[in-house]
Structure 1
Amino acid sequence: MQPARRRGLAEEAADRIRDEILAGRFAPGSALREVELAASLRVSRGSVREGLAILEREGLVHSEWHRGTRIIGLTETDIIEVYAVRAALDRLATLTAARRGRPEQFDELDQLVATMERETRGAADGGRLVALDIEFHDCVYAMAGNGRLTSAWEAVRSQVHLFQAHRVRLSHEHYRTRVVGEHRELAALLRAGRVEGLGDLAEEHVQSACRGLLDSLQA
């Protein structure tokens, strides 16, 4: 990992560790040791401890007394719970965004879909596609304009990102063939303001991702 710099060292440490987790360089369920992380990042153990606390609030890691800090697992229960919460949140976010979205925000969604399509035409990097996927949904939540809804999304966002990243690593082609079409359909319905069926589509988009990850794990 690159040495920590800029901003508060705790926030920077959290960013670096999060990047490593999402990139798959730290496996789900594995231990995170403060001494090793501090040496790698060239910061104090205190900064690492504060950074891990940030990641724990995001639900990406969990700490236990005398047992240290570990990355969350990739169990069936973890996956079903996270995607169930996300499905409920996405339904409300898309329905609200369809009513409140501004033209330039719909344009931004279309641009993200176009970028996804360009990425899939070449040697698409899975991590890049997942980042665009998450950015698309960040925009939908911003369009909804509900601060508490956005806070609820941010509480599970890192966990969703982690699970989506593993979904791509386990079954890249399955994800690659779906990511553009599903997001293009969502963007089109949002722009049209067609709330009929939109909530169901948003939920199915999430449940499809859940099924894809579970099927890949079982395989």
Structure 2
Amino acid sequence: MSGPGGVVPARRRGLADEVADRVRDAIFGGAYPPGAQLREVELSAALGVSRGPVREALLRLEREGLVRSEWHRGATVTTLSDEDVAELDSLRAALEQLAVRLVIATATDAELTAIDQVVERMERARDEHEMVGCDIDFHDAVYAASGHRRLNEAWQAIRSQVYLFLLTRIGVESEGYLTCVPAEHRQLSDALRARDRDTALDLFAAHRGEAFDVLIGRRRQPAKP
């Protein structure tokens, strides 16, 4: 039934939102790796909710790019193809270049300090999954410091997929990850604070390129006999 002015009353989706948050956190925490099945019956039992909110939550996660649904398999955690990785990398590069330029031109000391504080958390991270979360938080802080609302919204649109990209990266190779990543981000943060645009752009590009090369390069290596 339509409300005033012919507008259909909105449905409350709080429960579906909460289920989506729980499932997303489980994916990011490594409980459901890429390719894992997400069965409505099991999720509804684990979360103590009916299948309706679970179904809505999975649709939301599918829109984020975290979940894929196929009629013969149901919902699974997205497995990124080489094409997915390349597209994410190129889009992230375009967004990040603008963000870096804006941060260097306009960021306040408080915003730069917020970026520094994420690096300090990275230096205390205890495992790879915690480090990936800090990595995403670092880029959240960079986009927030850009002061560009639509740019930040564009980042949020691919954020979950970039998170999945980084989880896939540590699944391919995690050796040295805990020691190298904080040092890389310290360099990024220092370049932003120094407002050294060219150095910052080069460092951000190298940082993206290293993850891309690990993921694509390792996948394309011939299997050992």
TM class by shorter chain equals: 0.7 to 0.9
**Of 59, 63, 69, which residue of structure 2 is paired with 1:57?**
63
Supply the RMSD in Å over aligned alpha carbons: 2.0
| Unaligned 5+ runs, structure 2 | 1-12
Q: Which residue of 2 aligns with 1:144?
A: 146
Q: Which residue of 1 aligns with 2:23?
A: 17
CA distance in 1, matches of 2:129, 2:136: 11
**Of 127, 132, 135, which residue of structure 2 is paired with 1:133?**
135
**Once the two structures are aligned, what percentage of the paired residues are identical?**
46
Give the greater-gyration-radius structure (CA).
2
CA distance in 1, matches of 2:176, 2:212: 13
TM-score normalised over the length of structure 1 = 0.86
Are 1:83 and 1:210, in contact at CA under 8 Å, matched by a contact in 2? Answer: yes
CA distance in 1, matches of 2:183, 2:97: 18
CA distance in 2, matches of 1:143, 1:87: 17
CA distance in 2, matches of 1:57, 1:96: 29
Q: Is 2:92 the counterpart of 1:86?
A: yes
1:62 is paired with a residue whose SS is strand
1:24 is paired with a residue whose SS is coil
C-alpha displacement at 1:100, in angstroms? 1.6
CA distance in 2, matches of 1:28, 1:112: 27
Q: Is 2:50 the counterpart of 1:44?
A: yes
Q: Which residue of 2 aligns with 1:212?
A: 214
CA distance in 2, matches of 1:28, 1:53: 17
C-alpha displacement at 1:133, in angstroms? 0.9
What is the one-letter code of the residue matched to 1:133?
A: D
| Unaligned 5+ runs, structure 1 | 1-6
CA distance in 1, matches of 2:36, 2:27: 10
TM-score normalised over the length of structure 2 = 0.84
Are 1:89 and 1:153, in contact at CA under 8 Å, matched by a contact in 2? Answer: yes
CA distance in 2, matches of 1:214, 1:177: 22
